[in-house]
Structure 1
Amino acid sequence: MQFGIFSVGDVTADPNTGRTPTEYERIKAITQIAVKAEEVGLDVFAIGEHHNPPFIPSSPTTLLAHVAARTSRLVLSTSTTLITTNDPVKIAEDYAMLQHLADGRVDLMMGRGNTGPVYPWFGQDIRQGIPLAIENYALLHKLWREDVVDWKGRFRTPLQGFTSTPRPLDGIPPFVWHGSIRSPEIAEQAAYYGDGFFANNIFWPKEHFQRLIGLYRDRFEHYGHGTREQAIVGLGGQVHVGARSQDAIAEFRPYFDNHPVMGHGPSLEEYMAETPLTVGSPQEVIDKTLTFRDSFGDYQRQLFIVDGGGLPLPKVMEQLEILGERIVPVLRKEFAIGRPANVPGAPTHASLLGNKGLAIGAHQQ
């Protein structure tokens, strides 16, 4: 099972000091956070894609390529890549290039994003969000698997005899997770292709995500990719940890109360009771995260948000150290207990390449 962190790359004032970091400072900080994630033993770093203030990750591939040059083991991903407003041809080329630069340490999460105005900025209609996601991904899937593509659809000019370059490393396209917080159509899409489904398990009660993940698992089996237990599931989460529960809550409360998404509504305690947000001691984070398996079954990837909301970089680094030293090692051990042998791990370039070699060998026999 993979453990890691993801960030939306917001630029938010620290409520304790009133100071807002510059875009330069935030970009540099996110790079340091990614490098620290590898240093403390995490598996994955993922960055969002936004094209509006107060966010800075408008070019995830640029940032991830820089991180790739400073790391050697970390899997680099997105959270999410906007499949609706990016040209599938450009996605195919950009992420194949990143895949080569990172020696295969790349996958990506497809999503529609949560900023409505982005659609007209890139010449699209938000009312076509789901059809765009379905058609654009169908083309991307084809571009990575066929050397010469002829294609015609509703939302872009046709392609005739087109070859996307560079070709995927070793002939293995980056693994794709389809991210969603609300859309059964996206769970269906992930199941149809046998891709991963990432439920951004942060803002809503578990019952909502149980329905989405259950649908994905059922349809994964329906399309013949394996049993529902073998479906590839990822979950989000958000944590803030302190030596004691009361310390963590006291430190995090101003960041929660002033948070642009979570704040100015239910209290921190009410929010924690209704969502996966965990603020407390290392043991409390471990205990609550372990309940995710009870709710959603065995799964392959767990990502946490530990930055954002104005939390200063030194505090984020402290969070990563606690996560890597005191929480994730315990979670690895506990999640391994009772995990059925037929439940696969999270796909990586190496595992997909190995499976390709086995398939070729079996075919030759």
Structure 2
Amino acid sequence: MQFGIFTVGDVTQDPATGRTPTEHERIKAMVTIAQKAEEVGMDVFATGEHHNPPFVPSSPTTMLGWIAARTERIVLSTATTLITTNDPVKIAEDYAMLQHLADGRVDLMLGRGNTGPVYPWFGKDIRQGIDLAIENYALLHKLWREDVVDWEGRFRTPLQSFTSTPRPLDGVPPFVWHGSIRSPEIAEQAAYYGDGFFANNIFWPRKHFQKLIGLYRRRYAHYGHGTPEQAVVGVGGHVFMRPRSQDAVREFRPYFDRSPQMGGGPSLEQYMDETPLTVGSPQQVIDKTLTFRESFGDYQRQLFNVDGVGVPLKTVLEQLDILGEEVVPVLREEFAKNRPEHVPGAPTHTSLLAARDAEEASATAAG
């Protein structure tokens, strides 16, 4: 099972000091966080994609390419690549290029985004969001698997004898996760292609995501990719830790209360009760994270957010130390217990390449 960090790259005032970092400082901080994540033993670093203030990660491939040159092991991913407003041809080429630069340490999570004004900025209509996601991914999927593509659809100019370059590393496209917080159509899409489904359940109650993941697992089996238990699931969560839980709550509460995403609604305590947000001791994070398997079944990727809502870089790095030293080693051990042998691990370039080679060898032997 993979454990990692995801960031949305918000530029938010620190309520403790009243200071807001510059965009430059925030971008550099995200790079530092990625390097620290590898240092403490995380498996994945993922960045969001946003094109509006107060967010800075408008070009994930640029950032991940920079990080790839400064890391050796960690998988580099997105915490949303906007399949609706990006051209699928550009996605195919950008992420194949990144895949080569990172020697295969790349996958991506596709999503529709949660900011309505973005659509017209890129010449799209939010009312066509689901249709855009379905058509654009069908083309992206084809571009990575066929050397010469002819295509005609509703939302872009036709392609005639088109080859996207570079071709995927070793002929194996990056693994794709389909991220969703509300849309059963996206769970269906992930299941249809046999891709991963990522439930970024930061803001919504657990029962909502149980339904989405359950749908994805059933439809994954329906399309013949394996049993429901073999479907590839990822889960997100938000944590803040101190050795004593009361200290964590006291320190984090101002960040929560003034957060544009979380503040102004339910209390911190209500929020923790209904969502994966965990503010407390390392043991409390361990205990709550282990309950996710009870709700969602055995899954493959757990990502934590530790750097949003104005938390300063020094504190974020402390959170990463706690995760690496006290939390993730225990979670690895506990999640491995009683994990059925038929449940796969998280896909990587190496495992996908091995599976492709084994399938080709089997076909050759059968022929």
Question: Structure 2-normalised TM-score?
Answer: 0.99
Superimposed CA distance per residue, residues 115-169 of structure 1 (whole angstroms, 9 cap, x where no aligned partner): 0000000000000000000000000000000000000000000000000000000
Match of 2:181 in 1: 181
Deviation at 1:356, TM superposition (A): 1.0
Deviation at 1:4, TM superposition (A): 0.2
**C-alpha distance in 1 between matches for 2:312 and 2:263:** 18
**C-alpha distance in 2 between matches for 1:150 and 1:358:** 29
**C-alpha distance in 1 between matches for 2:157 and 2:81:** 21
**C-alpha distance in 1 between matches for 2:360 and 2:159:** 30
After superposition, where does 1:8-87 map in structure 2 within 5 Å?
8-87=8-87
Match of 2:322 in 1: 322
**C-alpha distance in 1 between matches for 2:343 and 2:144:** 27
Deviation at 1:364, TM superposition (A): 1.6
Superimposed CA distance per residue, residues 5-24 of structure 1 (whole angstroms, 9 cap, x where no aligned partner): 10000000001111100000
**C-alpha distance in 2 between matches for 1:352 and 1:270:** 41
SS of match in other structure, 1:307: coil
SS of match in other structure, 2:185: helix
Superimposed CA distance per residue, residues 233-284 of structure 1 (whole angstroms, 9 cap, x where no aligned partner): 0000000010010011011011001011001111111110111100000000
Q: For 2:306, give the aligned amino acid.
A: V
Q: Does 1:114 align with 2:114?
A: yes
SS of match in other structure, 1:144: helix
After superposition, where does 1:109-258 map in structure 2 within 5 Å?
109-258=109-258
Q: For 1:191, give the aligned amino acid.
A: A
Match of 1:290 in 2: 290
SS of match in other structure, 2:25: helix
**C-alpha distance in 2 between matches for 1:43 and 1:31:** 15
- Size of the alignment, in residue pairs? 365
**C-alpha distance in 2 between matches for 1:51 and 1:284:** 35
Deviation at 1:52, TM superposition (A): 0.6
Deviation at 1:232, TM superposition (A): 0.2
Unmatched segments (≥5 aa) in structure 2: none
Q: For 2:354, give the aligned amino acid.
A: G
Deviation at 1:360, TM superposition (A): 1.4
Match of 1:356 in 2: 356
**C-alpha distance in 1 between matches for 2:103 and 2:7:** 23
Match of 2:7 in 1: 7
Question: After TM superposition, which residue ranges in structure 1, 4 or more long, deviate above 3 angstroms?
Answer: none
SS of match in other structure, 1:321: helix
Deviation at 1:69, TM superposition (A): 0.4
**C-alpha distance in 2 between matches for 1:199 and 1:186:** 11
Deviation at 1:358, TM superposition (A): 0.8
SS of match in other structure, 1:236: strand
**C-alpha distance in 1 between matches for 2:242 and 2:191:** 39
Q: For 1:2, give the aligned amino acid.
A: Q
Q: For 1:181, give the aligned amino acid.
A: I
Q: For 2:27, give the aligned amino acid.
A: I
Q: For 2:23, give the aligned amino acid.
A: E
Q: For 2:129, give the aligned amino acid.
A: G
Deviation at 1:92, TM superposition (A): 0.2
**C-alpha distance in 2 between matches for 1:309 and 1:276:** 16
Match of 1:266 in 2: 266
Q: For 1:343, give the aligned amino acid.
A: V
SS of match in other structure, 1:97: helix
**C-alpha distance in 2 between matches for 1:265 and 1:214:** 28
Select between 208-217 and 353-362 the one with higher mean Cα deviation: 353-362
**C-alpha distance in 1 between matches for 2:359 and 2:138:** 24
**C-alpha distance in 1 between matches for 2:22 and 2:229:** 45
Deviation at 1:33, TM superposition (A): 0.1
**C-alpha distance in 2 between matches for 1:16 and 1:42:** 28
Question: Structure 1-normalised TM-score?
Answer: 1.00
**C-alpha distance in 2 between matches for 1:283 and 1:362:** 46
Match of 1:304 in 2: 304
Match of 1:338 in 2: 338
SS of match in other structure, 1:55: coil
**C-alpha distance in 1 between matches for 2:11 and 2:238:** 18
SS of match in other structure, 2:55: coil
